[in-house]
Amino acid sequence: MGFFSKIANGLKKTRDSFTGAISNVLSGFTKVDEELFESLEEALVMSDIGVHTAMDICGQLRERVKKESVTDPALIRGMLRDIISEKLDCDCRLHLDTKPSVILVIGVNGVGKTTTIGKLASRLKSDGKKVILGAADTFRAAATEQLGIWAERCGVPMISGAEGADPASVVYDTVAAAKSRGDDVIICDTAGRLHNKKNLMDELAKISRIIGRELPDASKETLLVLDATTGQNAVNQAREFGSVSDISGIVLTKLDGTARGGVVVTINSELSMPVKFVGVGEQIDDLQPFDAKQFAAGLFDEE
């Protein structure tokens, strides 16, 4: 399956509800007036695009409509797509410039961290990178086992500790192994106990300290994994995690199972956290680098 069709398939539910809502609004108007903008704003908010972002998008739309003297509602759709596409445009690449580089994967339980690490490891490996995994979610033994299955599937090594071991010590061991093996990328899993913010903060700070001390000049990505099916709750999680760590990018998972994909727009524009990858299924190749243009096109059912 091609790159675009993967995104397009993953966005099917979102697209159906999104384009449905937009078409509903546009077909109800014969001219472009203030009432149209208000209905459109409402439809955007219903599509999990946050209130601020929806207002902002409609503000830009008003300006363009005025500037280009648009009177036909049928032309609004394309303008809306362009505005959303521009809003989503960001530096979506991973910056892994040193050998080794580090990717720390954080997020609450069940959002898809471990699965994302498996997919990411496979992707980086096929790019010719030597990858090593660190099983720093030591909270449950099952978490290490699950990461181990992905490590095996991808044919990459994994460093782990006993259940309940200090996550930072697993990170330390993984960094040491990576240095001696000459690995390119270290990917570390973590436990996601957001309900205990103090613990989480301490744990992430300790892990960051270890990485900073052992690899002071390394490129480091801290990827926050969010489950798209949780809609605005995902936005709240991004705010919470953003307050305890420096997040360099978002991985938005489970887009395939939800109509709430509009949340990408909110995360990108309201939180200034670039979405770098989207998860569109449970298989190893179901992780796609985020591309603003393609995403916007996928949202509006255009190729």
**96 in Cβ contact with 184 (< 8 Å):** yes
87 near ligand GDP, judged by CB under 6 A = no
183 near ligand GDP, judged by CB under 6 A = no
Q: Within positions 190 to 249, which residues make up the interface with ligand GDP, using CB under 6 A?
A: 225
114 near Mg ion, judged by CB under 5 A = yes
Cα separation of 250 and 27, whole Å? 35
Tokens for 281?
A: 């299924």
**260 in Cβ contact with 229 (< 8 Å):** yes
190 near Mg ion, judged by CB under 5 A = no
Cα separation of 67 and 223, whole Å? 40
112 near ligand GDP, judged by CB under 6 A = yes
Q: Binding partner of residue 257 among ligand GDP, Mg ion, none, CB under 5 to 8 Å per kind? A: ligand GDP
Q: Within positions 127 to 156, which residues make up the interface with ligand GDP, using CB under 6 A?
A: 146
Query: What distances in angstroms separate CA 180 from CA 117, 156, 161, 220, 269, one per listed residue?
Result: 22, 15, 18, 19, 41
Cα separation of 274 and 297, whole Å? 18
Q: Give the one residue of 101, 115, 190, 266 binding ligand GDP; rule: CB under 6 A.
A: 115
**132 in Cβ contact with 187 (< 8 Å):** yes
Q: Which residue has the closest beta carbon to Mg ion? A: 114
Q: How many residues bind ligand GDP (CB under 6 A)?
A: 19
107 near ligand GDP, judged by CB under 6 A = yes
253 near ligand GDP, judged by CB under 6 A = yes
- Cis (ω within 30 of 0) for the bond into 216? no
Residues that bind ligand GDP (CB under 6 A): 107, 109-115, 146, 225, 253-254, 256-257, 279-282, 286
Residues that bind Mg ion (CB under 5 A): 113-114, 143
